[in-house]
Amino acid sequence: MDCIFCKIVSGEIPSKKAYEDENVLAFYDLEPQAPVHILVIPKEHITSAAEIDESNSSVISKIFEAIAKIAKELDLKDGFRVVTNCGDAAGQTVKHLHYHLLGGRDFTWPPG
Ligand code: 5GP
Ligand code: ZN
């Protein structure tokens, strides 16, 4: 499958890893939008949050366990933001489910 993030999982495209286990990979975003900007993804290809169902949802809890671990390790104790863009209108450019973990600055709400 021609998917950039599957290629990052396989090592075909290099990445700067922040965390890895059997099911989850986290790596630094190429175009950081905050001092800390990490993408946390399932190793299995899931297209977006719209494709989560009973057959694949167990990895979502693993992703959020990883996010909490990374936030502790990077000392994001003032707060951080987790975002997933789902579909074109939300600005999803890579069609492999990913959670942006953003930290190291303040964030506004609501988002643009
Ligand atoms: P989206 O726009 O789909 O929510 O987020 C995709 C993110 O992937 C963007 O923030 C973009 O900078 C990042 N990205 C795209 N290609 C690569 C890549 O090859 N390596 C890394 N590390 N990040 C990438
Ligand atoms: Zn993929």
98 is catalytic: yes
Which tens digits make up the pLDDT trace of 17-58? 999 999 999 999 999 999 999 999 999 999 999 999 999 999
Burial environment of residue 78 by CB neighbours within 10 A (0 to 12, 13 to 18, 19 or more): exposed
* 50: CB partners within 8 A, 6+ apart: 86, 87
CA–centroid distance, residue 3 to ligand 2 (Å): 5
Query: Residues in the chain, how many?
Result: 112
Burial environment of residue 14 by CB neighbours within 10 A (0 to 12, 13 to 18, 19 or more): exposed
Which of 37, 45, 98, 100 is the catalytic position? Answer: 98
Q: How confident is residue 1, by pLDDT bands cut at 50, 70 and 90?
A: confident
Protein residue with least CA distance to atom 19, ligand 1: 4
Q: Decide: 46 and 40 in contact? Cβ < 8 Å.
A: no
Pocket-forming residues, ligand 1, beta carbon under 6 Å: 4, 13, 15, 27-31, 39, 85, 91-94
